Chains A and B, each alone.
Chain A
């Protein structure tokens, strides 16, 4: 699916979240200068084509009681990464799982998973379960718990290339 300028502008608008009012799509339509139907159909296209993988409530996990957030990283042989990653993704406590590029001389790890849990003790037990279950004990690995959260907000994926507002505005305004 080819993204149109409208999709980009819609994506940019959605960063602020849907307003909580009876006709939220009409409010966005107003800002974009199109009809409510136009907004809804563009949004449906993004969802149906899987470009939006989730549309709904985006929660602050710390407020919900998920106080411990561990990023577990492993250095696994590249040919094995997909099999291990898929097995990891099936564990109920793994919330995200990716293969990433290593950084030569700095960061040898290529497989990442996130575990969000109530507390560090619980998460550590889950990590032990995972490494035993997937036979990862001998792989170089690290667990990086998060400490302070300095920012958690929507990504800036929409290009807004053709509007005067964008051309005039500074790039790094406060969010």
Chain B
């Protein structure tokens, strides 16, 4: 996959998963830092987006300090899994939703502004799917999301 990334795109991925500039013209700031020009940098970002590498330029938050969130899991019969997963993904409060290899086979993250919002979402999901949502809220984190390396570990 990585062969299709241009040197500029690789450079962007290595340098700007953190510390994206908060200047008036951030793409021009980046261009200055990597020795390019604003138009080329914007084109490189747009191409990464179009090709599905870049989800968005945005923020990840310190869990527990902004809003509320919890990991959740559900046991869903295989025959219903796709339908139930689709129902859950339709909730805008869900930000990750994965099938995993276990009896508890559907894992998702519920987000909200407050804990009460989480409770309401859980109740709505249970009502809509007919399955129990098990919650595994975080107690402490030891490593937060730092982005991905292009080099393999």
A residues contacting B by CB (< 8 A) are 3, 8, 11, 14-18, 20-26, 36, 40, 43-44, 46-47, 50-61, 63-66, 69, 71, 81-82, 85-86, 88-89, 92-103, 106-107, 110, 112-113, 116-118, 122, 126, 142, 144-159, 161, 171-175
Contacts and interface: CB of A to CB of B under 8 A. Distances in A.
Given A107-B104, A152-B55, A157-B111, A55 B27 contact: no
Given A16-B58, A51-B62, A147-B100, 12 more contacts: A17-B58, A21-B42, A22-B27, A22-B28, A60-B53, A63-B52, A99-B138, A107-B136, A147-B101, A152-B95, A156-B111, A157-B113
Given A96-B143, A100-B138, A103-B135, A172 B97 contact: no
- A58, A88, A95 pick with most chain B CB within 10 angstroms: A58
- A64, A86, A126 pick with most chain B CB within 10 angstroms: A64
Interface in B85-108: 85-86, 88-102, 104, 107-108
A63 B53 contact: yes
A100 B93 CA distance: 20
Given A15-B58, A153-B55, A56 B147 contact: yes
B61 A144 contact: no
Contact of B61 (A36, A52, A118): A52
Contacts of B55: 17, 58-60, 152-153
Contact of B141 (A25, A98, A101): A98
Interface residues of B, number: 86
A154 B99 contact: no
- B60, B108, B124, B139 pick with most chain A CB within 10 angstroms: B139
B100 A145 contact: yes
Contacts of A96: 141, 143-145
B69 A157 contact: yes
A154 B150 CA distance: 22
Contacts of B16: 56-57
Contacts of A103: 134-136
Nearest to A101: B137
